[in-house]
Amino acid sequence: MANFDQTIETLVVASVAVGFLTTYLTLNKLWSRKSDENVAKSVSVFASILGILSTIPFLIKYGWIDAEYKGAIKALVGIIAGSVFLLIGSGFWVRDKQKPLSLWTKLKRAIKLETNEAGDLVKALIKPTGADKMLEILKQLALIDNKVSEKEFEFIEIFAKTWYIPFQRCDLTNNENQNTEQSLDSNYLELRNSVIKYIDISPPTAQATHLRDVLNALANADKMISDEEKFILAEVNSMLADYSSNSTQLKEYQVLVAPQDEDQVDMLKNLLPELVISSVSGGKGYLVGSFFSLDFAKMVCKKYRSLNLFTAIESSSSITKNR
């Protein structure tokens, strides 16, 4: 036990030393640019003030109450660093072109500027790129299991009101007579296509990541994620994650259809006239889609298999064939 305590004590001391070093490296990078107006505007005054205020209680606790010098020193370093950031953000070292301004005047000007910038950010979030497409995706996900709870409706309503898009309870009215396996597959494909249309408008990557989080929160709004929601989220989450990471990698699973005679070729061209035949492992076939989820790829295969078409799922390691 003594050895364990000694190890923890050593790590704490090392943490304080690392805190000194990281603070020095950060401030050293800014110090030579402290008189640059653009640098001053890039430092958040609000964040600096909040950082100082939230660290003061730790300094009091460790320095006066517990007499724990290591924690007190680390808190003190944080307050000093926050104070320097506050001075830089207020433009304390920026030379005024007309007449010198007091620190208080500079601080008020910096706060006003940051308030305006925060307002611009809120407006950007209120009116995101492709808000109508995002709302449609939310509605389709809520309807995917043919059961729309009041929690799901309220969840979507919040976004609709924030984005100033008309939305009513009847927009989520579902026709239970269409609750068949075939219509469910179509719903999966429609939702995936809606996500593709959203991605096609090239929204900010951070917004796409946020949409993925919102979709998962919607699925869990009623405290129960259905099998249908799990199925489609496995595909949609990966699509949005792939877009947000600017990945150039091919999708994990490629669905291919290999017509066995001219009649099947004609049928396939009528269904998907833009398809181009390509070489695949073991022969030639038509690539009808690339997917992240193996289950989703199997579902697409099943639709073509119902037309008596030979299908294959090609991944990085193997091909799964179905007939």
Task: Render pLDDT for 15-67 as a digit per residue (tens, 0 to 9).
Answer: 767 777 777 777 777 777 777 777 777 677 767 777 777 788 777 877 777 77
d(CA 51, CA 48): 5
Number of domains in the chain: 3
Tell me the three state secondary structure of residue 315: coil
Same domain, 302 and 235: no
Same domain, 189 and 266: no
d(CA 232, CA 229): 5
Residue 247 has pLDDT above 80, yes or no: no
Same domain, 178 and 204: yes
Same domain, 166 and 194: yes
Q: Which residue has the higher pLDDT, 298 or 37?
A: 298
What end-to-end distance do the CA atoms of the chain give, in Å? 64
Domain boundary among 179, 209, 244: 244
Same domain, 234 and 285: no
d(CA 291, CA 147): 26
Same domain, 211 and 259: no
Q: Which residue has the higher pLDDT, 55 or 121?
A: 55
Same domain, 121 and 190: no
d(CA 102, CA 92): 8
280 and 253 Cβ atoms separated by less than 8 Å: no
**Token pair belonging to 178:** 């269409």
pLDDT tens digit string along 170-226? Answer: 877 654 445 555 578 888 999 999 999 999 999 888 888 889 988 988 888 877 888
91 and 37 Cβ atoms separated by less than 8 Å: yes
Tell me the three state secondary structure of residue 308: coil
Give the model's pLDDT for residue 114.
57
Domain boundary among 125, 144, 178: 125
The boundaries of the domain holding residue 49 are 2-125
Q: In the block, which residue shows the tokens 């078409």?
A: 309
Give the model's pLDDT for residue 176.
43
Q: Beta strands 283-291 and 319-322: pairing type? A: unpaired
Same domain, 239 and 259: no
Q: Which residue has the higher pLDDT, 135 or 168?
A: 135
Domain boundary among 94, 125, 156: 125
Residue 225's Cβ-side half-sphere holds a number of Cα atoms within 13 Å equal to: 12
Same domain, 214 and 114: no
d(CA 25, CA 19): 10
